[in-house]
Copies of this chain bind each other. A is one copy, B any other.
Amino acid sequence: MAKEDGFRTQKRVSSASSAAAGVLPTTMASGAGRRPPPRGRQIQKTFNNVKMTILCGFVTILVLRGTIGVNFGTSDADVVNQNIIEETNRLLAEIRSDSDLSDSNEPPDSDLDLNMTYTLGPKITNWDQQRKLWLTQNPDFPSFVNGKAKVLLLTGSPPKPCDNPIGDHYLLKSVKNKIDYCRIHGIEIVYNMAHLDKELAGYWAKLPMIRRLMLSHPEIEWIWWMDSDALFTDMVFEIPLSRYENHNLVIHGYPDLLFDQKSWIALNTGSFLFRNCQWSLDLLDAWAPMGPKGPIREEAGKILTANLKGRPAFEADDQSALIYLLLSQKETWMEKVFVENQYYLHGFWEGLVDRYEEMIEKYHPGLGDERWPFITHFVGCKPCGSYADYAVERCLKSMERAFNFADNQVLKLYGFGHRGLLSPKIKRIRNETTFPLKFVNRFDIRRTTPLKIEARS
């Protein structure tokens, strides 16, 4: 019948258009033996179909929004910005994979023989003599200048960008902080961004680098390792090197925690000094064997956890390994190790960062201890990585405060200070003058006589 045919056709059209629009059919395909629907009903169905079409289109846009960069209510600039960031992230992934690929072209190093003790390099036994001879032959490169021993500060960070975008920014601020301190105190800096030994990556990477610097810089008397998450907070304080005339390793810690409790945090390897001498090379050689990554480091970690109080279960870290070494070979090493705690060669941040305002009110730079900490060390914050032990907000704000607390001491010479310990902005702290040199004489830290540390009972 014409009507039926018309209906059937209409149905097929509506089904086809429904299918095309991805709409669930609202009528049965087969039209045999049915009456044509009333007009009002037809309008209702059409309306429903349109609503379904719009809904599905909306879903499509939502899903594709991230892919095609369509954002509601944002400008072209944001789209460009987002595109640049996405391209950057793509390139980062490429750089990371490139560096992995380039390794695959190299012949694989022979596997570590687990029966042989790992070494940092060929055994040198006469370094003191070699160095002494060299210094005699090279008077232009003395190891003491104006009575002060030459010190080189070694710090660094991994070669690749941080997992957390804010990490690189805090690494930058951290190195600026070190540049300021070292400029004021005539200390050279080496910022290491390479792994000299792929077996000793991570926190172990400092060992081969310390050794390499000793052997390459005979004019340097002390190599000072400092973590990237440790900031100078006393810009005046100087390490009293004369205290260590008879020692070769200076490290912050507590003898009772070390010898009585055998605690895994008895010493802190975030900031320590090695004299450039044979003894230090020997200690590095004795320290390194727990470090090679893989089964050696894993197994060594178990030994350390079993023997050191409070140590969680994880692979061997350099700090625990050093504590274990000094405990188990006490007679060999401890005579030349100075366990320092009269000032904060390492100052754990949690007890310090909230007191900066109090310190400013009551004390002054140059003390280096709990009244005005020499170094504030953000152990556990890990701004470069992803898995911190402390809340991100607490860490970042505390690091900001420490940085500005230190920066104020540097800016003082220039007549400026931060508006607040959380503010990157600065303001004048004294008026300008046409005779600026009077302030240079007063405020240049290089003219401040270092305070002597009084012996404490």
Min distance, Cβ A18 to any Cβ of chain B, angstroms = 12
Q: Which of B88, B172, B195 contacts A165 (CB 8 A)?
A: B88
Contact A425-B102, Cβ < 8 Å, known A157-B172, A411-B194: yes
What mask results when residues 258 to 281 of chain A are scored 1 for a CB within 8 Å of chain B, else 0? 000000000000000000000000
Q: Tell me how many chains of this kind the complex includes.
A: 2
Q: Is B386 in contact with A81, judged by CB distance below 8 angstroms?
A: yes
A387 and chain B: residue at smallest CB distance? B80
Which residues of A in the span 58-105 have a Cβ within 8 Å of any Cβ on B? 58-59, 62-63, 77, 80-81, 84-85, 87-89, 91-92, 95, 98-99, 102-103
Q: Is B166 in contact with A386, judged by CB distance below 8 angstroms?
A: no
Q: Is B166 in contact with A161, judged by CB distance below 8 angstroms?
A: yes
Min distance, Cβ A443 to any Cβ of chain B, angstroms = 8
Q: A328 at the A/B interface (Cβ < 8 Å)?
A: no
> DSSP class of A's interface residues: helix, strand, loop or mixed?
helix
CB-defined contacts of A419 to chain B, threshold 8 Å: 99, 102-103, 106
Q: A26 at the A/B interface (Cβ < 8 Å)?
A: yes
A134 and chain B: residue at smallest CB distance? B437
Q: A199 at the A/B interface (Cβ < 8 Å)?
A: no
Q: Is A433 in contact with B122, judged by CB distance below 8 angstroms?
A: yes
Which residues of A in the span 218-245 have a Cβ within 8 Å of any Cβ on B? 218
Q: Is A386 in contact with B84, judged by CB distance below 8 angstroms?
A: yes
Q: A52 at the A/B interface (Cβ < 8 Å)?
A: yes
A-B CB contact pairs (8 Å), 10 listed: A58-B59, A84-B164, A99-B419, A103-B425, A106-B419, A122-B432, A172-B175, A175-B176, A215-B436, A217-B440
Question: Which residues in A have some Cβ–Cβ distance to B below 8 Å?
Answer: 24, 26, 28, 41, 44, 48, 51-52, 55, 58-59, 62-63, 77, 80-81, 84-85, 87-89, 91-92, 95, 98-99, 102-103, 106, 121-125, 130-131, 134, 141, 157, 159-166, 168-169, 171-173, 175-176, 179-180, 183, 188-191, 193-196, 198, 212-213, 215-218, 386-388, 392-393, 396-397, 400, 407, 411, 413-416, 419-420, 422-427, 432-437, 439-440, 444, 446
CB-defined contacts of A434 to chain B, threshold 8 Å: 122-125
Min distance, Cβ A7 to any Cβ of chain B, angstroms = 17
CB-defined contacts of A424 to chain B, threshold 8 Å: 95, 99, 159-160, 193-194
Min distance, Cβ A448 to any Cβ of chain B, angstroms = 13
How long is the Cα–Cα vector from A252 to B29 in the complex, in angstroms? 80
Contact A87-B160, Cβ < 8 Å, known A28-B41, A63-B62, A425-B102: no
Min distance, Cβ A71 to any Cβ of chain B, angstroms = 12
How long is the Cα–Cα vector from A95 to B166 in the complex, in angstroms? 12
Q: Which of B92, B183, B427 contacts A190 (CB 8 A)?
A: B183
Min distance, Cβ A177 to any Cβ of chain B, angstroms = 9
Q: Is B91 in contact with A393, judged by CB distance below 8 angstroms?
A: yes
